[in-house]
Amino acid sequence: MQPSLFLILILWIRSITCPTPPPSSFSLFQSYIRGHLDGRVEDASDLLPEYDFIIVGGGSAGAVLASRLSEIAGWTVLLLEAGGLETIFSDIPGLAKYLQLTDIDWQYQTEPQPGQCLALKDERCNWPRGKVIGGSSVLNYMLYVRGNKRDYDAWEKAGNYGWSFKDVLPYFIKSEDNRNPYLAKNKDYHGTGGLLTVQEAPYSTPLGTAFVQAGIELGYENVDANAQSQTGFMIPQGTVRGGSRCSTAKAFLRPARNRKNLHVALRAHAHRVLIDDQKQAYGVVFERGNKILRIRARKEVILSAGAIGSPQLLMLSGVGDPDHLQQVGITVKHSLPGVGQNLQDHISGRGMVYLINETVSYVETRFLNLPSVLNYIRHRGPLTALSGTEGLAWVRTKYADPNDDYPDMQLQFIAGSSVSDGGLSLKNNDNVKDSVWKEYYEPIAYRDSWQPIPIVLRPYSKGYLHLRSSDPYDKPLIYANYFTDERDIKVMIEGMKIGLALSKTEAFQRFGSTFYDKPFPGCDHLPLWTDEYWECFLRHYSTTLYHQAGTCKMGIPSVTPLAVVDPELRVYGIKGLRVVDASIMPDVVSGNTNAPTIMIAEKASDLIKETWISKENSMNEI
């Protein structure tokens, strides 16, 4: 059931069972609605013909950029967002899975390729991306993870000056308002008073604690992976505030909403960047309200449309591989073959289910009900949870250096599994074939369970995307290339084995944990529990963890093949054009990508300010 229908049903049930609701509950509900509506971003009705900066994409990066650049009162900023406003339902952390495949999701899919997504319909993996102000920070599972220090040091070693961990850490801290006093007192790594609220979910099951205890039994430490060391197990923190989602729209744009120099245009679908014969970006063409508009940029156009949208826009604008552009009928403005290449994603193994004999997990029939809604408006209860994610771990498989704090595997612990909702949403979100669901999962539908999702942190397999056509409304062709490098499948198999080891610990045996050992459809001809079987299992049911990156790679051309932007995120060969989002990552970070994307935007804002304030000061001196 979609969340809107669910809440309407709940309110209707309440109206007939409690015609005169207690004032406290009714006033709390009114307060919750006001809290959602108050301070929302306004859709600008009258746009100027020209702005200093035009930002394309109001997501995790674009919202930050718009907020920070509009701090300079003398600069005008236009933020273009293809989607609309956040909804009451997207604010509810526990309903995150219901946001996919709706109108706030771009609903991308990968192209069928051998050896990947085999248990999914048409052998395509769904790739949800936020089409809404706040972008994927409105659609995601809200986990606040920075990655490993060595990720950023590697960026700098590749020639990207200013991107070492010591350089980027201040930008993580700048954004952060960490509400955990124990973690926040570590001032070397955490911040308070920033615009982005970070805290633990108000609600959790006993399984989250069991996960951390199980890790300790296996010899790992309970760590704050966003501080000194990453290897270990932890209770996650998320971008939540008072039990509700804290998207970048809420965190960064709402405080800036009254600035006269910031205009936000919603449901504005960008078609291309305007580039003149001198290779100067000077504006954007977009459609809004059934009208094609052209608005000029005095200083810069900044693409923050994400790892899919930004390279797509560059190619639509004539910047990319000239052979491909000519094939789809686009005039080449500048040859830049790296656009759309270097596509990376954290592939995750989704299929394993561990059953337990206690009623403590997130079974849909137990928490999607009236008491949960009433608890939620009081900032507590299961709807405040991070959609079931109650633990994170970074572990070293046998392929990683055992003496180095550079784990190659992440485990995302779910206090439930794909059977917890009986196939109502998670099955469709992952695009699982009906036959696979019926044969493998349906017999255990609604059973109490848990799931350790193994994630290859630094994939060797890299994909690419191409334009389907020159039509800006056509979704691009996405070739994920999952598991095309055998090293990735080997690491993932070890992650599956770690999940089995966790299940056997005392921490989980207290719940009677057992692995659901029915042979997986399509793999039942192989010897069970061998590496060959696990490889088959993973090639059938592994999919995205929503961490696409790298398609407008940052680098120095002499060192980094296929670099698209320089270390100040300026597009090579085109003046007045930058890319600021996860697409600039040379290599995807060792963890969830939302916090690093926000960091990239924070740093980019300072780079842009330094550039133009310096130019303006020079002009004033003349």
> Which pLDDT score, from 0 to 100, does residue 29 have?
52
Out of 334, 466, 540, 547, which one is annotated catalytic? Answer: 547
The pair phi, psi for residue 548, each rounded to 5°, is -65, 140
Which pLDDT does position 618 carry in this prediction? 77
Q: Are 47 and 287 in contact (CB under 8 A)?
A: no
Phi, psi dihedrals of residue 429, rounded to the nearest 5°: -60, -40
Question: Which positions make up the binding site?
Answer: 132
At 4-47, the pLDDT tens digits run 455 544 443 333 334 444 445 555 555 555 565 567 888 999 99
- How many Å apart are CA 35 and CA 377, to the nearest integer? 11
Quick one: CA dihedral 538, 539, 541, 545, positive or negative? Answer: positive
Q: Please, are residues 397 and 409 in contact by the beta-carbon 8 Å criterion? A: yes
What residue ranges do the domains of the chain occupy?
Answer: 3-37, 48-86+132-179+261-340+549-622
pLDDT of res. 11: 40
Phi/psi zone of residue 232: left (φ > 0), alpha (ψ -120 to 50 degrees), beta?
left
Tokens 């055998």, residue located: 486
**CATH assignment of 48-86+132-179+261-340+549-622, given 3.50.50.60, 3.20.20.80, 1.20.1370.10, 3.10.620.30?**
3.50.50.60
| pLDDT for the residue numbered 617 | 83
Distance CA 283, CA 165 (A): 34
The question of whether 346 is a catalytic residue gets the answer no
With b for 16 or more beta-carbon neighbours within 10 A and e for fewer, the 188-210 pattern comes to ebbbbebbbbbbbbbbbbebbeb
- 456-495 pLDDT, tens per residue? 999 999 999 999 999 999 999 999 999 999 999 999 999 9
pLDDT for 84 equals 97
Question: To 10 degrees, the CA torsion angle through 545, 143, 455, 387?
Answer: -70
Taking the C-alpha atoms of residue 111 and residue 113, their distance in angstroms, rounded to an integer, is 6
Residues at the annotated binding site for FAD?
Answer: 132
pLDDT for 25: 52
Whole-number pLDDT of residue 37: 59
The low-confidence residues of the chain, meaning pLDDT below 50, are 1-4, 8-23
pLDDT attached to residue 2:
47
Pairing of strands 77-80, 262-265: parallel
